[in-house]
Structure 1
Amino acid sequence: MRYMMLLRLDQDQAGKQPSDELMAEMGKLLEDMTRQGVLLDTAGLAPVAEATSLRLSAGKTTVVDGPFTEAKEFIGGYCLVQAKDQDEAVQWARRFLAIHGDQWDLTAEVRQVMEP
Structure 2
Amino acid sequence: MRYLSFVISNSDVPPTPELMDAMGKLIEREIKAGRLIDTGGLLPAATRVTLKQGELGVTDGPFAETKEVIGGYAMFEFANRDEAIASAIEFMTLHKQFLPSWEGTCEVREVASPGTSEGCNVQTGVSNAA
TM-score (norm 2): 0.80
Structure having the higher Rg: 2
The aligned residue for residue 68 of structure 2 is 73
Structure with more of its chain in helix, by fraction: 1
Deviation per residue, 1:20-46 (Å, 9 max, x gap): 111110111001111111101111101
One-letter amino acid of the structure 2 residue matched with residue 85 of structure 1: N
For residues 20-59 of structure 1, the aligned pairs below 5 Å read: 20-47=17-44, 50-59=45-54
Q: Distance in 1 between matches of 2:93 and 2:50?
A: 35
Q: How many residues align?
A: 111
Query: CA distance change for structure 1 residues 79 and 61 in 2, over 3 Å: closer, same or farther?
Result: same
Structure 2, unmatched stretches of 5+, are 115-130
Deviation per residue, 1:62-115 (Å, 9 max, x gap): 111112113431211111100011110000111111111213112011000001
Q: Distance in 2 between matches of 1:104 and 1:33?
A: 24
Structure 1, unmatched stretches of 5+, are none
Q: Distance in 2 between matches of 1:7 and 1:66?
A: 19
TM-score (norm 1): 0.89
Cα RMSD of the aligned pairs, angstroms, is: 1.3
Identity of aligned residues (%): 43
For residues 1-116 of structure 1, the aligned pairs below 5 Å read: 1-10=1-10, 12-13=11-12, 16-47=13-44, 50-101=45-96, 102-116=100-114
**Residue 59 of structure 1, CA deviation:** 2.2
The ranges of structure 1 where at least 4 consecutive aligned residues each deviate by more than 2 angstroms after the TM superposition are none
Deviation per residue, 1:38-62 (Å, 9 max, x gap): 1011111011xx2111111122111
Query: CA distance change for structure 1 residues 27 and 71 in 2, over 3 Å: closer, same or farther?
Result: closer
